[in-house]
Structure 1
Amino acid sequence: MSKILLITSSPRGTESLSTRFATEIANGIRMQSGGSLTVRDLVANPAPHITQDYIKGRVMAPDARTAEETKAVEDAMELVDELRVADVIVLGSGMMNFAPSSQLKAWIDNITWPGVTFSYGTGVPQGLLTGKKVYLVTASGGVFSEGVYAPFDFQTNYLLHVLGFIGLTDVELIRIEGTVQGPDAAKAAIASTGAAVQALLAKVA
């Protein structure tokens, strides 16, 4: 049975397509595998923005930390532990000003942790969270996978990079895009993504 971690990060609530399709994928995999599902909603339950307490505390011995440093490190380790125990990670991200939301960026800043999720021990970066399957669902109003706006996609390319940096290299990407180009375009984009998700789940089965 798979342990599935669903991470959502869009502030758009019920209107969020990244949340909608990421949730559909996670629930579909859970139903097929009989596994467990943990949900991390980074809007309802946000990761703290990193502070000096976290930056200092994570490199100190536990008994040398202040109470504030201990709390910051424990909060970050809770997020890391969710990743460590997961077999499957489904991550939903809606583009905000060409990039991931600040909620998702705060989560990334907490879990990108030297000696914990990556290492330079061999002289080159080595991701430590290996052997996991990731489904990355990105949403954007415009079309960024190709064309004139492709150079402005600082969401998908960044997420693929940082996931790979910490060892999450087996990533399947699902894009929802072009939803602000009129009602017909939005309807077509949603239908296309829905079909892609169903094909993905059929393959998982």
Structure 2
Amino acid sequence: MNILHLDSAITGDASVSRKLTAEAVAKLTAAHPDARITYRDLNMGVPAIDTEWFHAVRMTPENPSPKQLELIATSDAYLKEVQDADVLVIGLPVYNFNLPAQLKNWLDQIARAGISFRYTAEGPEGLLKGKRAIIAYAAAGTPMGSEMDHASKYLRHMLGFLGITDVTFIPADGLALDRDAAMTRAQQALEELAA
């Protein structure tokens, strides 16, 4: 089993989503001691896509410049980690009702027409099938699944668009209102998590 472990919280050791992703990975590796883990802290920086990225990655120039080669290599590296993974464990802290910019940047980097998805006569088809995603959702006051939660809905949609439809959430929402209750809910979800 190959596990891709992604964190994106800006709060360091105080992060609930980081704690929960670590516990999920520990549960998976306890059941699969030979699992290989690739860890990436998206908070260390994920380049946002821009016009240069579009010309380098999407337009596939015949003679790419050194800068374009660098942009292509970065995007390819993110995508290969996902392609190689059987399970993605993703930390989803909620900031301002949505996912962190660095997690959105990562999604933009891996959403590549013809590689991670394609358009067909029946509509778009995700090409990253057969993978599982475990999402550690942490929010101070945004209830998961509520009208104000644009984070979990968007992430589930994007993963599904890319072909990853086996998605499990570990919710720790309402942390600012009743931290103990939120952590109890998250621990219950972790206990029920099939390794």
The two structures share one fold, judged by TM-score above 0.5: yes
Deviation at 1:195, TM superposition (A): 2.6
Q: What TM-score do the two structures reach when normalised by structure 2? A: 0.94
Alignment of structure 1 residues 102-113 onto 2, 5 Å: 102-113=101-112
Q: Distance between the aligned counterparts of 1:103 and 1:61, measured in 2?
A: 24
1:20-70, Cα deviation, whole Å (9 max, x unpaired)? 1011101220121121111111013x2111122211112334642222111
Structure 1 partner of 2:36 = 36
Partner letter of residue 93 of structure 1? L
Structure 1 distance, partners of 2:100, 2:173, is 16
CA–CA separation in structure 2 for the residues paired with 1:60 and 1:192: 46
8 Å contact 1:50–1:109 — kept in the other structure? yes
1:169 aligns with 2:168: no
- For structure 1, which runs of at least 5 residues remain unmatched after alignment? none
Structure 2: 5+ residue runs without aligned partners?
none
CA distance in 1, matches of 2:51, 2:185: 44
Letter in 1 for 2:148: F
How far apart in 1 are the matches of 2:133 and 2:77? 19
Tell me how far 1:115 sits from its aligned partner: 1.0
2:183 corresponds to:
190
**TM-score when scaled to structure 1?**
0.89
Measured in 2, the distance between the counterparts of 1:123 and 1:76 equals 28
SS in structure 1 at match of 2:9 = coil
Q: Does 1:199 align with 2:192?
A: yes
* Mapped partners of 2:46, 2:53: distance in 1: 12
Alignment of 1:72-111 (within 5 A): 72-111=71-110
Does structure 1 retain, via aligned residues, the 8 Å contact 2:3–2:36? Answer: yes
- In the alignment, is the contact (CA less than 8 A) between 2:171 and 2:185 conserved in 1? no
Q: How does 1:99-138 map to 2 (within 5 A)?
A: 99-138=98-137
CA contact (8 A) 1:117 1:127 kept: yes
Write out per-residue CA displacement over residues 67-126 of structure 1, whole angstroms, 9 at most, x where no aligned residue. 211111110110000000001111111001000011111111111111111100445100
Three-state SS of the structure 2 residue aligned to 1:38 is: strand
CA–CA distance in structure 1, aligned partners of residues 60 and 176 of structure 2: 50
Q: Is the 8 Å Cα contact of residues 172 and 182 (structure 2) preserved in structure 1?
A: yes
